[in-house]
Amino acid sequence: MYLASLLFWLATLQGVRHAHWAVYFGWLFLSLYLAFYFPIFIALSRRAIERWKVWPLVAIPAIWSGLELARSYLLTGFPVALLAHTQVAQINLLQISDLFGAYGLSFAIILVGTLVGQSPSSPFRFSHYVQRWQGPLAALLVIGAMLSYGTLRRQSLEQNRLTQEGSPPQTTTVLLMGRQYYTRFDAPLEEKQKTIEAYLEQTVQLLQKNPHVDLVVWPESVLTLNVPYSTAHPQSKASKEWNFPPFLGQFPHLQRIFKPLVVGANHFHFDKNEQPILTNSAITLDENTNPVNIYDKMHPVMFGEYIPLGDYFPFLYDLAPISLGLTPGPKPTSFEHEGVNFIPNICFEITIPHLVRKQAIVCNDPQSMNVILNISNDGWFWGSSIADLHFNCSVFRAVELRTPVLMAANAGYCGFIDSTGELVDRNHSFNDEAVLATIPHASPHLGTLYLWVGDWPIAVCLLFCLMLGGDSIVGTVAKKFQRKPSPRRLHKL
């Protein structure tokens, strides 16, 4: 069972190994870790049904969704390829995610499967015949209820949008750039420079054809391509002492764009003690390429941006392609442009439901149209299906928070997802297409149940899993140390 689970995760995540030979170890470690969840699910389900006598229709969905929640938090969280993500194309089914998140849809899928599986197998008596179809009929009722909720929810949102739109409706146009550049840590500097120039030339050409664009977005780390720069003033004491390349004025050719620009870059900050810290950031530049807003990534990717225990064993970074780990950003930020409040996040942060929810709560502007903006570099994955898994998570964030999502990815998908999870526009992956997203302004949404209560309902399922696990451990330990009667005592008995 564990081997089958391991093979599944090795195949699913094989795309993470391409950027550097050292990442093979991360691919193997992550797969070995994730493979434990399915055997744990089987063991806890048997414990709940056979020993605790819990109704399977409650136990099995609760255990599955509880373990998915655990996977979203443990080891910084990896909630990719959840069961709910298999239904990303079924827009009406997705709508229940605004109640309990993607975990709620996973719960419902397992519930339907359990209902079908609970049907008696004997067809010889009429009573058995009736019972045989009770499960499938109940499963159809559950599916019908979800589809009905989804249909009504989408109709309500569409009616609300039509009511709020002006005549003509006010819009903001965003150019989401994406090209085909595969990440290689050993790539020469000339190759990286050509990539930046290709992004610049394509952007200028598209702006000449579309002068009405209000904002341009480049993907994660494309501007610097792993060469860090400092956003501190070049004449500051810290800049002079550490002599990092200055960001200000470093890219004067970007002024050819003549538009506000969001770019991904690795760069140095200086803390209160004027010590350097390296961050992965989304930097918003004005028309003169001056930084006006900086968001520092709060959730570094394991093995890609930090190594577990690397702070205690620094030599581990000498074995990896990253010279030192990235420092997590302190808090979410947002920036306003043309009446839209953009809430940025970077790369796999969009896969973490509770993180994006926190960003939406902290940065919500009740007076503006709120939009989640994700910039990513899927060039790490060299055209593998991980780019699809990544994009699927963006669809669920849009539904959970009823907030449109814009995504600009290098070697991945660029797209515009509305608050119902529907793809308004998306490029074809693994090419040099850009997406021109026109965002209609609407009043901020009042919120969703998931936005208000977060993961607490599914946390009850996780607590159930912990209780089952604790009981299993205690039972195993007690059985191991149980005192066995001596042969003499057995003879007397």
pLDDT computed for residue 428 by the predictor:
75
Report d(CA 249, CA 246) in Å as an integer: 7
pLDDT computed for residue 122 by the predictor:
47
Region 242-253: mean pLDDT is 55
pLDDT computed for residue 231 by the predictor:
57
Report d(CA 255, CA 248) in Å as an integer: 12
Region 216-226: mean pLDDT is 81
Report d(CA 282, CA 272) in Å as an integer: 21
pTM over 0.95: no
- Answer for the pair 401, 451: CB distance below 8 angstroms, yes or no: yes
In three-state secondary structure terms, 266 is strand
Q: Give per-residue pLDDT as tens, 436-448.
A: 999 988 766 668 9
Pairing of strands 369-377, 405-410: parallel
pLDDT computed for residue 144 by the predictor:
97
- Residues linked to residue 285 through DSSP beta bridges, in sequence order: 261, 291
Cα Rg of the chain, angstroms: 26
pLDDT computed for residue 124 by the predictor:
46
Does the structure show a pLDDT above 70 at 226? no
Two tokens at 150? 């989804």
Does the structure show a pLDDT above 60 at 227? no
Two tokens at 249? 């004025």
Most confident segment among 186-190, 227-231, 277-281, 308-312: 277-281
Region 136-150: mean pLDDT is 95
Q: Give per-residue pLDDT as tens, 85-119.
A: 999 999 999 999 999 999 999 999 999 999 988 76
Report d(CA 150, CA 97) in Å as an integer: 10
Q: Which of 308-317, 378-387, 391-400 has the weakest average pLDDT?
A: 308-317
Q: Which CATH architecture has domain 171-451?
A: 4-Layer Sandwich (3.60)
The length of the chain in residues reads 493
Q: Give per-residue pLDDT as tens, 296-354.
A: 999 887 766 677 666 666 666 666 665 556 788 889 999 998 889 999 999 999 999 99
Two tokens at 360? 């939406």
Determine if the peptide bond prior to 457 is cis (ω within 30°). Answer: no
pLDDT computed for residue 339 by the predictor:
86
Q: Which of 58-72, 206-220, 320-334 has the weakest average pLDDT?
A: 320-334
Region 243-251: mean pLDDT is 54
- Answer for the pair 87, 105: CB distance below 8 angstroms, yes or no: yes
Does the structure show a pLDDT above 60 at 381? yes
Q: Which of 65-74, 123-132, 152-161, 409-418 has the weakest average pLDDT?
A: 123-132
Measuring CA to CA, which residue among 146, 65, 96 is closest to residue 402?
Answer: 96
Q: Which of 50-64, 171-185, 273-287, 476-490 has the weakest average pLDDT?
A: 476-490
Give me the DSSP letters along 263-324.
Answer: EEEEEEEE-TT--EEEEEEEEEE-TTS-EEEEEE-SSPPBTTTB-TTTTT-THHHHTSSSSS
Q: Give per-residue pLDDT as tens, 147-188.
A: 999 999 999 888 877 776 555 678 899 999 998 888 776 677
Does the structure show a pLDDT above 80 at 376? yes
How does the average pLDDT of the chain come out, rounded? Answer: 84
Place of tokens 């807003």: 293
Domain ranges in the chain are: 2-165+456-477, 171-451
Q: Which of 78-87, 217-226, 394-403, 457-466 has the weakest average pLDDT?
A: 217-226
